[in-house]
Structure 1
């Protein structure tokens, strides 16, 4: 195949991919997450094949394992909600029937009945939206699972096809970027789990010091909420603070909102993510921090993965460029020294 034909087919591939991305924009985030998860599962699938399993069995086993692990992340939240439902109802019963609020010389009266009506209305609207979105969500989950399986099953073919588009002289750089992408994705998901564990460990003493009885339950909820981008455990702390305000316990509300917000919602992100990013993905903590929050604030939940991944590829590209430039400078320096030695030897030869 001539070089021109290869590049033409490569350009056609890129153009078809761009058109597909535009037409499939509604599921683009699902496709992106499926690709990142397939990257992580590839070593597992390769190990299963090395142990004698067929490609189909290895791909299906890795996909099923990932699906089960994803469900297990949110199982503790469902278990806590089920076991503590009666306690939650009892807490609601402790709220006063009427709350008088004075602000800037104005007095407001908030009744429990009006709050209950507002909450019921919000829950009903949320339930209707969830019911409407359920078929779409089911389709996306199905697409997510099938994509992971297909990427694992046809992984070698996809790798060869992608590498064939890269000129021979640049394939070492493509392999380096591929390695960096896999390491960064692994670090992102490991960091997410490590941050949840750190949140649980930090939440235990905070909730205990603030006098809560269900310390383990609240800490578990805070840890699981770390997997929810942007809001995280803040929604739990805000709900607890609002409950204490309703009871007239303003000091307790301030403590749980500000102290809990600092230690539980903010501190794990600052302490765990930058430090482990350096250890697991070889990315400076400051750059990972920028990628994580910048990605979330720019493109939403998908930015949790896309932001740090972009930073990781940027760091690897900078390292490749630096290595190339230094090798060129060293080669020029060696040529200059060789030329100088030849010039010095000429008079002696004559």
Structure 2
């Protein structure tokens, strides 16, 4: 029985779209990261545009205002990083050069010497190469940023149309799955952008006065680095605080090490998570920190900077797909009920396959009585 012409036509169109999508991705490979970044930011800003439209603004003005909000947020996040690398690179390199070439560690009356000279040289080379690469890539970055803003405005303005176009080829009986995956993607992006950004701002606000009070000359830069590291899941600003504390230990400044270690971990690395995140986590995906860390690191190493967003997003959507499959197969039955059902089936199989001594005796007696009655009749 052949397929209907409508279904065959649908498959042919799906194949054409897939091939054209692959060709388009190959042509736009150099700006694919910019496009993905604009897509994810637009996914978060579309609700903002709708909220503005409900308040009386036109769709065009609402999209412009939402795009401006995204533009300002991106500039606020990335400009301090670029300015630090460009204007304060010499100070950062000076701090690295001041690190001792050897760090003695004493344990159980045995002193071990850790050589850090090679790591020190590698860090200086890395910072220098990063600054040089940034300076040479500024024209390209400017073009990509302009592309990002234009694409962001178009996606926010035509977000509903793009969503309808994406959902249209999906059969009606499967659209609930698309909706569930889309909801998880939106919640994950909200967690990455809104929660992480708010937590980073709180980290900077707390970190700057703390580092200044502890007497660090580059308090602003250290607070900025701590805020950026807040995007790294689980460990976060501890990547900054712990090395500073170890530096003071190596220099014999134990009081400074304790102060920056305790106050830095408690106030900079830990307090923003418990003060800010719970108040904004209502609309987040509640992705476990371990899975978020896997997606973060995997995406970063595989896709580069855009992987910081795409990695956790893919992991979250994958987890949602697993949950949908589990609900489809098992319904509302929880794992305890499934285990109990498995135990009961195993017990029934054992009972059916093996006879207890009582069953054997009963069967023997029945056979003996039947044999005796046949003999008497004969």
Give the TM interval when normalised to the shorter protein: 0.5 to 0.7
| 2:19 aligned partner | 15
User: Which of 308, 311, 317 is the equivalent residue of 1:307?
Assistant: 311
Q: Is the 8 A contact 1:233 1:264 kept in 2?
A: no
Deviations 1:290-327 (A, max 9, x none): 33333334433222211221222123222322332245
Deviations 1:96-150 (A, max 9, x none): 9xx897999x9x9x9xxxx9xx97x988765543332111111111111111111
Compared CA separation, residues 261 and 294, structure 1 to 2 (3 A): farther
| 1:318 aligned partner | 322
User: Which of 209, 222, 225 is the equivalent residue of 2:228?
Assistant: 225
Q: Is the 8 A contact 2:211 2:223 kept in 1?
A: no
- Distance in 1 (CA, whole Å) between partners of 2:326 and 2:223 is 45
Q: Which consecutive unaligned segments of at least 5 residues does structure 1 have?
A: 330-350
Deviations 1:23-45 (A, max 9, x none): 32221111111000000110112
| 1:292 aligned partner | 296
Q: Is the 8 A contact 1:242 1:253 kept in 2?
A: no
Correspondence 1:136-155 to 2 at 5 A: 136-155=140-159
Compared CA separation, residues 327 and 51, structure 1 to 2 (3 A): same
| 1:189 aligned partner | 193
Compared CA separation, residues 77 and 327, structure 1 to 2 (3 A): closer
Compared CA separation, residues 213 and 44, structure 1 to 2 (3 A): same
- Distance in 1 (CA, whole Å) between partners of 2:29 and 2:72 is 27
Instruction: Indicate yes or no: 2:46 matched with 1:42.
Output: yes
Larger Rg: 2
RMSD: 4.8
How much does 1:198 deviate? 5.1
Instruction: Indicate yes or no: 2:71 matched with 1:67.
Output: yes
TM-score scaled by length of structure 2: 0.63
Tell me which moved more, 187-196 or 221-230: 221-230
TM-score scaled by length of structure 1: 0.67
Q: Is the 8 A contact 2:35 2:151 kept in 1?
A: yes
| 2:28 aligned partner | 24
- Distance in 2 (CA, whole Å) between partners of 1:100 and 1:29 is 39
| 1:281 aligned partner | 284
Compared CA separation, residues 206 and 130, structure 1 to 2 (3 A): closer
- Distance in 2 (CA, whole Å) between partners of 1:102 and 1:52 is 64
Compared CA separation, residues 264 and 77, structure 1 to 2 (3 A): farther
Tell me which moved more, 159-168 or 32-41: 159-168
Aligned length: 312
Deviations 1:243-274 (A, max 9, x none): 8799x556578668976886688657987999
- Distance in 2 (CA, whole Å) between partners of 1:328 and 1:205 is 51
Q: Is the 8 A contact 1:80 1:217 kept in 2?
A: no
Q: Is the 8 A contact 2:295 2:315 kept in 1?
A: yes
Q: Is the 8 A contact 1:195 1:268 kept in 2?
A: no
